[in-house]
Structure 1
Amino acid sequence: MITKLSTVFLVLLSAMSLTACVTQNYGNDKSTPLIENETSNNEIAMTRISLGLGYLKMGNTQQAKLNLEKAKGFAPNLVQVYTAFAHYYETVGEAELAIDAYEQALNINSKDADTLNNYGVFLCRQEKYAAAEQQILKAIAVPSYILVAQSYENLALCQLKAKQFNKAQTYFEKAIAHSPNSASSLYQMMRLQYAKSDYKLAQRYLYRYEKSTRRFSAEALALAFKIFKKQGENAIAKNYGNMLVKMFPYSFEAKQYILNELYRLDADKLAEEYQDSLVGDKNTTNKKRVVVLSPKVVSISEKSDLSNRGLKPIMANSVMPTAKQGVEAKEKNKAAMVSLPIHTVAQGDNLSSVALQHNVAMNSLKRWNKLRSPYILKIGDVLYLADPKLAAKH
């Protein structure tokens, strides 16, 4: 299942523009001062944080903690020190200590949006869904926060985990409104609509996904196959199946396509969970209304139920890149992404117009797609706009 929550990693070390301290020492001649530049304590602390996270990534927890302790010694009031400690404690399975580290970070700066976002991610992992929603919304409410789309996607993924499908859809819509070309949000909406059996809407999100990115995964192609298969569009479905086998011949999805035409995807499991939720709500559907919280700045002192929460830190360092980390620790390894531009045939298209639209030679289109005279195209056909053999090698 591609259900990732974004943990924000800030590369602050190179961006910090701190003024170096200047100290005055004296040589043998006490009357002659020697001026020396001394790196600021915050910069030293950031370097130690970077080293500590690097060691943690390699699995050397002893050296990781040693460097984080040294960072704390240099800058005991630096937010990044405590978010780094929270990440360390989460990694070694000390949830309560991670909570303490997060609370210290937020006591220093209650509007650190990155910390709030990661706090919510961790709470979601601990299945504290309401608390996770509250913390991520605090991050979104910070005026200077720019990763709003990612945080809304986090909220949506967390609601999926909580089996709150309507709320998940609302937050995905907000994520897409803030970032209309976000491939991950579009893919997740495609997956959710498939689970809800709205295959036409899933198809529309598929086309938006294809337009927003030229990078495909085995999972996306497999889901596209199922969307058209469910609608009885077998020819189009087969095109996607062929792409899957050509581009990802060794992937789990390709093997399942060959064996049983992708009888059961992860999205099918999500569909079962959605149906189960409808059965559970059958007697209360008309009585209950879905409430979606709005971003609201809440004081750090409002911690009525924090004692039972797990926390997830945000890291400021120069070792770990800005990246998304999965909510599920056992998320399966996904096939490598492959760049390959395509064109989905629409009404009025012909080989000449497609070649002209994408500025490629007709002979190349024929060769790449193994087309033979009289070159009849059908609506929904998928045409390669580059050599699939070359793309598959990358």
Structure 2
Amino acid sequence: MMAKLSTIFIVLLSTMSLTACVTQNYGHDKSTPLIENEASNNEIAMTRISLGLGYLKMGNTQQAKLNLAKAKRFAPNLVQVHTAFAHYYETVGEADLAIEAFEHALSLNSDDADTLNNYGVFLCRQEKYAAAEQQILKAIAIPSYILVAQSYENLALCQLKAKQFNKAEIYLEKAIAHSPNSASSLYQMMRLQYAKSNYTSAQSYLYRYEKSTRRFSAEALALAFKIFTKQGNKAIAENYGNMLVKMFPHSFEAKQYILNELYRLDADKLAEQYRDSLANGKKTTKKKRVVVLSPKVVAISEKSDLSSQGLKPMMVNSVMPTVKQKLESQEKIARENNKPTMVSLPIHTVEQGDSLFTVAKQHNIAVNRLKRWNKLRSPYILKIGDVLYLADPKLAAKH
């Protein structure tokens, strides 16, 4: 959730208006005028800000601070200089200095909506939810502010973090009212309705989401699978599951679907938090055992730092068991959980150089069976990324 909040913190270089104000000062001899173009200084400062934030993104904090300091020398009263410094201080863990930078920026222009929004996002990350809400609402109230929908979505995400689910729903409704085709707002509302067990409403927002976006995501397909599963519509749920595996075969969600049919998503965690909030914050202590892949990374060594910084989960094919091993493993998991056996199909994702013959040989399966299971017709042209079933889908469905 907070990844979304992070992306909103941006310096709007393209929308800044620079006043071409020219002032005249005099040199040491008091006779030679020195012309200083404030607009030029602002432009230089903005360039330095862009460089500084670029270095900060790459992790070079020393060069980032150096460029921001140069920007400040050229334009000490430019609001964007101080908001950029605030972002720098937050990144290096100096929250108090970040607050000072934001407050200084607002002392220069208390009606700068971008600064108010960014300050609110920062305060939310510091878990100062009431103060965050106040700053973002101030930004929304400014008539010239155009990113109202994004700010309402920020408020909703912040309220979700604070476990204020009803307020989050209100702010999402406002975000969608201001931007009816916002895929991110529709997805967050779909996620919230699922958490509140309003599956029919979640399905409605799913259809609106699909209509508004031309690109699916693994997260959205996984959530769609769960929405229809909760309603007992297994046929449509399976269609979404197949789309997930075919379109995003290497995603964390696809691997979860193959392993345990998406037993637990991020939206399920949100649902637990919602139920806990209804029970006055009492936490559920009894949980079912289930095998869940880590969304961060498969350990490279015992001492590896399991962080999500740029690391990808291991590919399916690199750990693909035999059909027999997979079925036995799934049956064992089902017995441990006292659940009915759910068998997911083993798959092979087509890579460069693959053919039906090489795939069949690799998995010790007859070519004719591969053709039949995957309904392939001549000519047999495989594309990189295609997903081939390595077992009969009909047999798997009987479980």
1:137 corresponding residue in structure 2? 137
TM-score where L is the length of structure 1: 0.67
Once the two structures are superposed, residues 233-265 of structure 1 have per-residue CA deviations (whole angstroms, 9 ceiling, x without a partner) of 000000000000100111111111111111111
> CA 1:149 to 1:192, structure 2 compared with 1: closer, same or farther past 3 Å?
same
2:352 corresponding residue in structure 1? none
1:268 corresponding residue in structure 2? 268
2:290 corresponding residue in structure 1? none
Counterpart of 2:8 in 1: which secondary structure?
coil
Superposed displacement of residue 11, structure 1: 4.0
2:48 corresponding residue in structure 1? 48
Deviates more, 1:59-68 or 1:94-103: 59-68
Superposed displacement of residue 53, structure 1: 1.5
Q: Higher RCO, 1 or 2 (CA under 8 Å, sep at least 6)?
A: 1
2:279 corresponding residue in structure 1? 279
Superposition RMSD on alpha carbons, in Å?
A: 3.5
Q: Amino acid of the residue matched to residue 270 of structure 2? A: L
Report how many residues are paired: 295
CA distance in 2, matches of 1:104, 1:166: 34
CA distance in 1, matches of 2:310, 2:266: 11
Superposition map of 1:1-394 within 5 A: 4-5=4-5, 6-12=7-13, 16-19=17-20, 40-280=40-280
Mapped contact 2:129–2:159 kept (Cα < 8 A) = yes
> CA 1:73 to 1:235, structure 2 compared with 1: closer, same or farther past 3 Å?
same
CA distance in 2, matches of 1:164, 1:332: 31
Q: Amino acid of the residue matched to residue 43 of structure 1? A: E
Unaligned runs of 5+ in 1: 26-32, 283-328, 336-368, 373-387
Mapped contact 1:20–1:40 kept (Cα < 8 A) = no
CA distance in 2, matches of 1:38, 1:7: 29
CA distance in 2, matches of 1:168, 1:331: 28
Q: Which has the higher helix share?
A: 2
Superposed displacement of residue 334, structure 1: 9.3
2:362 corresponding residue in structure 1? none
> CA 1:233 to 1:131, structure 2 compared with 1: closer, same or farther past 3 Å?
same
Mapped contact 1:117–1:139 kept (Cα < 8 A) = yes
Superposed displacement of residue 203, structure 1: 0.4
> CA 1:20 to 1:270, structure 2 compared with 1: closer, same or farther past 3 Å?
same
Mapped contact 1:3–1:157 kept (Cα < 8 A) = no
Q: Amino acid of the residue matched to residue 219 of structure 1? A: E
TM-score where L is the length of structure 2: 0.66
Superposed displacement of residue 54, structure 1: 1.8
CA distance in 2, matches of 1:205, 1:218: 17
Superposed displacement of residue 15, structure 1: 5.8
Stretches of 4+ moved more than 6 A in 1? 22-25, 33-39, 329-335, 369-372, 388-393
Superposed displacement of residue 50, structure 1: 1.7
Superposed displacement of residue 9, structure 1: 2.3
CA distance in 2, matches of 1:37, 1:263: 62
Once the two structures are superposed, residues 328-365 of structure 1 have per-residue CA deviations (whole angstroms, 9 ceiling, x without a partner) of x9699899xxxxxxxxxxxxxxxxxxxxxxxxxxxxxx
Counterpart of 2:232 in 1: which secondary structure?
coil
1:288 corresponding residue in structure 2? none
Q: Amino acid of the residue matched to residue 91 of structure 1? A: T
Q: Percent identity?
A: 79
Q: Amino acid of the residue matched to residue 191 of structure 1? A: R
Superposed displacement of residue 61, structure 1: 1.3
CA distance in 1, matches of 2:310, 2:223: 16
Larger radius of gyration: 2
CA distance in 1, matches of 2:204, 2:309: 27
Counterpart of 1:4 in 2: which secondary structure?
helix
CA distance in 1, matches of 2:37, 2:107: 32
Once the two structures are superposed, residues 246-286 of structure 1 have per-residue CA deviations (whole angstroms, 9 ceiling, x without a partner) of 0011111111111111111111111111000111179xxxx
Mapped contact 2:20–2:38 kept (Cα < 8 A) = no
Counterpart of 1:216 in 2: which secondary structure?
coil
Q: Amino acid of the residue matched to residue 240 of structure 1? A: Y
Counterpart of 2:200 in 1: which secondary structure?
helix
Unaligned runs of 5+ in 2: 27-32, 283-306, 314-373, 388-399
Superposed displacement of residue 167, structure 1: 0.5
Superposed displacement of residue 10, structure 1: 3.7
Mapped contact 1:222–1:262 kept (Cα < 8 A) = yes
CA distance in 2, matches of 1:143, 1:14: 16
